Amino acid sequence: MMDLKDLYRDVILDHNRNPRNFGPLPAASASADGFNPLCGDRLKLHLRLVDDRIEDIRFEGQGCAISTASASLMTESVKGRTRAEALTVFERVHHLLTDDAAEAGDELGKLAALSGVREFPARVKCASLCWHTLVAALKDDAAPAPPAVSTE
Ligand code: ZN
């Protein structure tokens, strides 16, 4: 029988092998760079916000399996959410990663898989990199964005 740890590991492996929302986002209204010197993970996050809602989000960069899987899971999770909702998810995930007693509620969905990282304290920064980068990108968009220009 598959236990929760196997399930979590499978989610991480799946999102590392097939990252969702990976690539450039030409019509981005905000972006931010993240770097985790402990591991060498590099991440560039692009957002397109429309009426305070994350209409689209994509990421680029190169990092370890955990940083890639976390970024993939994050983009899936916050796409379609408002800025405030995304920040709430960030706080829940941050709590999940840093507090051993924290339990992933149902509302976190697949993000619960990130709790497996707590067993490897050195990797917590790999998992949290994309989330801190998300917060930076949301701040970057605090100024009204110019109208998107089609590159096609
Ligand atoms: Zn890493």
Q: Say whether pTM exceeds 0.85.
A: yes
CA of 146 to the centre of ligand 1 (A): 34
- Cα of 83 vs centre of ligand 1, distance in Å, is 26
Name, in order, each residue with C-beta under 8 angstroms of 57's C-beta and a sequence gap of 6 or more. 21, 25, 45, 46, 47, 48, 75, 78, 79
Nearest alpha carbon to residue 18 among 90, 89, 71? 71
Q: What is the pLDDT of residues 94-127, one digit of tens each?
A: 999 998 888 887 889 999 999 989 988 889 999 9
Q: How far is the CA of 72 from the centre of ligand 1 (A)?
A: 14
Residue 152 alpha carbon to ligand 1 centre in Å: 35
Fold of 4-138: Sufe protein. Chain: A (3.90.1010)
Q: Quote the pLDDT of residue 148.
A: 57
Q: From the CA of 144, how far away is ligand 1's center (Å)? A: 33
Pick from 32, 33, 86: nearest CA to 55 = 86
Burial class for 150, CB neighbours closer than 10 Å (0-12, 13-18, 19+): exposed
Residue-range domain boundaries for the chain? 4-138
Q: 135 in the Ramachandran plot: left (φ > 0), alpha (ψ -120 to 50) or beta?
A: alpha
Residues 117 and 68 sit within 8 Å (Cβ to Cβ): no
Q: Average pLDDT of each block of 10 consecutive residues along the chain (152 residues)?
A: 80 97 95 96 96 96 97 98 96 92 85 91 95 93 56 53
How far, in Å, from the CA of 36 to the mean position of ligand 1? 7
Q: What pLDDT shows up at residue 70?
A: 98
The pLDDT, as a whole number, for residue 141 is 67
